Amino acid sequence: MFDRNHLDGIAAIVGSKGIVSETGEIRAYEIGARYDEGKAAFVVRPATTAQVSDVVAYLVSNGIPFVPQGGNTGLVGGSTPDSSGAQVVLSLDRLRSPIIVDEENRTVEVGSGVRLSTLNDELSAYGMFFPVDLGADPTIGGMVATNTGGARFLRYGGMRRQVLGVEVVLADPQGTVLDLATGLRKDNSRLDLKQFFIGTGGAFGIVTKAVLELQRAPRQRATALIVPSNGDAILPLLATLEETCGEYLSAFEGISRNALERTFSHIGHLKNPFARGEIPPYAILLELTRSWVPRSGELDLSTFLEGVLSDLFDRDEPLVNDALVARSEDLWLIRHSLTEGLKASGHVIAFDLSLRRSDLHRFRTQIIAILDAEFPDLAVCDFGHVGDGGIHFNLVYPRRPEASYVDRVRKTVLDVVVHEYGGSFSGEHALGRSNQAIYDHYTPDLLKRLSVSVKDAITEVPIGNFLFGQKA
């Protein structure tokens, strides 16, 4: 049982407002977004970097295990406590300041507890936005720790591209504050230490602040759902759009029929935009955006898109069967409802894969055939970021499956992804309790050995739910 004296020791640092230990209140910190939940000793919510430092120093000095947590919207069990009741949840959700925009530098300095939506609300007054975009509303610190990709990666890249600097508290008995919160776009004057804290799930240190590059907000947007004439047309379609639309192209998202059907069935308020409601085998959500206003004589972006779409039909072998231009909000609502729609339709066995985009269609065809033969009760309900090679290869089982069934499915899919395609089992959700065993199995020993050596050079104790490996 957890020593109650430690609760007092921590409360002396953060005050009573900084502690959550009541049964009702604490659940939100214990339950994750996808089937992961545990039991926390208690939750500590420091309000400043100095408090984070003091809390970490206390926890490390007393050998208390802890899990950093941002918005707790992650999908791989990175931010929830395990079932032991021994782990303290270190929530960063009170680090909601600063939000300091440097307009001329086109950057913002932002506390790690700030939500993505809050940041973008603040930025709209400047005509800017933060371009890493996704369905959930995570905190900035969580986005750094998971190296979030999102739906517009194709144009803007993921977190690693936007992060110019971070402030981090290291897990040592001093709670050392590492200030790398620079607003420089370029700095080759030393080892770029901030890279360690991006995409490592908090295991190298606790991000308390970030400096992010910003982009000018889109002023025009044109969106369409298009239906490739067949699977082989998907990649030529992407290449054609990159060639004809250049930087206007901001999203090229693929959605399978299974994913669409289940989402429309289970989420009542969505409108099915297809003619007669007939859902095609595969659809692409295509978005063009322009951050600058067209000059007199220039085409409006909608007119531009119409011309582009018409050219896709106007070929000897058309690349598309159908194209629906619709309100951007409506189409994105469908896209961002898929995760919820699938979860409502059964038990989701989720894969967050990344491949060379040149391999996507071949992989999909191959693996669907294998799964259909070996696991006939599974519905393949994939969707994903075709433009960057990301694929949320989600499978739905009618009920909660046996663990051994899930293991067999995982092995079947990942053996192909990793061994045949050199793909990744974690494209953008990073690392946590849910994929520890997968990491242990698929990561070459040399990489595990180097990673743990580096981690040990930075942090003195393990943090959170993921171990990079054991020292050789």
- Residues 147-186 interacting with a copy of itself (rule: CB under 8 A): 147, 149, 153, 157-158, 160-161, 176, 178, 182-186
Say what the alpha-carbon torsion angle 163, 166, 171, 174 is, to the nearest 10 degrees: 170
Closest distance of CB 399 from a copy of itself, Å: 29
* Binding-residue total with a copy of itself (CB under 8 A): 92
Which tokens hold the place of 82? Answer: 């395990």
> Quick one: CA dihedral 248, 117, 272, 353, positive or negative?
positive
Give the x-and-dash track for 112-131 against a copy of itself (CB under 8 A).
Answer: ---------------x----
Give the x-and-dash track for 7-36 against a copy of itself (CB under 8 A).
Answer: ------------------------------
> Is 2 a residue that touches a copy of itself (CB under 8 A)?
no
> Is 235 a residue that touches a copy of itself (CB under 8 A)?
yes
> Is 199 a residue that touches a copy of itself (CB under 8 A)?
yes
Helices (H), 16-107: 23-30, 49-61
- Cis? peptide before 98, omega within 30° of 0: yes
Closest distance of CB 60 from a copy of itself, Å: 17
* Strand 347-349 versus strand 395-397 pairing type: antiparallel
d(C-alpha 165, C-alpha 73), whole Å = 23
Which tokens hold the place of 212? Answer: 């992010």
> Is 299 a residue that touches a copy of itself (CB under 8 A)?
yes
* Strand 43-44 versus strand 88-91 pairing type: parallel
> Is 333 a residue that touches a copy of itself (CB under 8 A)?
no
By beta-carbon proximity to a copy of itself, the closer residue of 44 and 386 is: 386
> Is 451 a residue that touches a copy of itself (CB under 8 A)?
yes
> Is 356 a residue that touches a copy of itself (CB under 8 A)?
yes
Closest distance of CB 408 from a copy of itself, Å: 21
Residues 6+ apart with CB under 8 A from 200: 145, 430, 431, 468
Q: Which stretch binds a copy of itself (CB under 8 A): 7-15, 100-108, 111-119, 253-261?
A: 100-108
> Is 244 a residue that touches a copy of itself (CB under 8 A)?
yes
Q: What is the DSSP letter of 417?
A: I
Amino acid at 50: A
Which residues in the 386-425 window bind a copy of itself by CB under 8 A?
Answer: 388-390, 422-425
> Is 427 a residue that touches a copy of itself (CB under 8 A)?
yes
Q: Is residue 348 within a helix (H) or strand (E), and if so which, with residue range?
A: strand 347-349
d(C-alpha 186, C-alpha 127), whole Å = 24
Q: What share of the chain is helix, strand, coil (3-state, %, to 5)?
A: 40, 20, 40
By beta-carbon proximity to a copy of itself, the closer residue of 290 and 335 is: 290
Q: Is residue 362 within a helix (H) or strand (E), and if so which, with residue range?
A: helix 360-374
By beta-carbon proximity to a copy of itself, the closer residue of 243 and 314 is: 243
d(C-alpha 304, C-alpha 164), whole Å = 34
Amino acid at 345: S
> Is 197 a residue that touches a copy of itself (CB under 8 A)?
no
Closest distance of CB 85 from a copy of itself, Å: 29
> Which CA distances in Å does 300 have to 138, 345, 421?
34, 40, 41
Residues 342 and 394 sit within 8 Å (Cβ to Cβ): yes
Backbone Cα Rg of the chain: 23
Amino acid at 75: L
By beta-carbon proximity to a copy of itself, the closer residue of 370 and 472 is: 472
> Is 318 a residue that touches a copy of itself (CB under 8 A)?
no
List the one residue from 48, 195, 302, 321 that touches a copy of itself (CB under 8 A): 195
Query: Is 396 exposed, middle or buried (CB count within 10 Å of its CB: 0-12, 13-18, 19+)?
Result: buried
By beta-carbon proximity to a copy of itself, the closer residue of 44 and 170 is: 170
Closest distance of CB 289 from a copy of itself, Å: 10
Closest distance of CB 268 from a copy of itself, Å: 33
Closest distance of CB 183 from a copy of itself, Å: 5
List the one residue from 39, 94, 216, 266 that touches a copy of itself (CB under 8 A): 216
List the one residue from 346, 431, 463, 464 that touches a copy of itself (CB under 8 A): 431
Using alpha carbons, select from 119, 134, 115 the residue that is nearest to residue 71. 115
Closest distance of CB 447 from a copy of itself, Å: 6
d(C-alpha 64, C-alpha 62), whole Å = 6
Q: Which stretch binds a copy of itself (CB under 8 A): 64-72, 252-260, 264-272, 435-443?
A: 435-443
Q: Which stretch binds a copy of itself (CB under 8 A): 42-50, 135-143, 189-197, 393-401?
A: 189-197
By beta-carbon proximity to a copy of itself, the closer residue of 9 and 236 is: 236
Q: Which stretch binds a copy of itself (CB under 8 A): 23-31, 66-74, 398-406, 437-445?
A: 437-445
